[in-house]
Homo-oligomer: A and B are copies of this chain.
């Protein structure tokens, strides 16, 4: 067995994150049935939106505040939170932060809001 074979299909999250050059631009790094695994580098404030699906946020590096209408959760590296479907939310990070997302393939980036920050699935699917 060669080293190359040993690594085929293996995704190193730190290596992938280092390739992210755009903020708030999730990139697909894996596919699990009808869901995508994505990573994104974020800083500042996103936009208020909701989804028809649950959304899983795992902080890989940095700190993330997920603002919801009635409360806010703060996530440090190694912590996750699932925003339930239909719940308006707005992620914010005062410093650069890397997150792993687990989302249905049908999940729209900014829900039914179309904004400058919206990245459609074809943009998210560009190989890193």
Number of chain A interface residues as a range:
35 or more
Chain A contact residues: helix, strand, loop or mixed: strand
Listed in ascending order, the chain A residues whose CB lies under 8 Å from chain B are 1, 5-14, 30-33, 35, 37, 53-56, 58, 71-76, 78-82, 85, 102, 104
Is the beta-carbon distance between B33 and A71 smaller than 8 angstroms? no
Cβ-defined partner of A71 (8 Å) among B5, B80, B102: B5
Is the beta-carbon distance between A33 and B54 smaller than 8 angstroms? yes
* Copies of this protein, total: 2
Residues on the B chain within 8 Å of A74, using CB? 6-7, 10
- Distance, CA A1 to CA B74, complexed state (A): 11
Is the beta-carbon distance between B13 and A81 smaller than 8 angstroms? no
Is the beta-carbon distance between A33 and B53 smaller than 8 angstroms? yes
- Distance, CA A71 to CA B13, complexed state (A): 22
Q: Say yes or no: A1-B54 contact (C-beta < 8 A), given A14-B78, A78-B13, A79-B12.
A: no
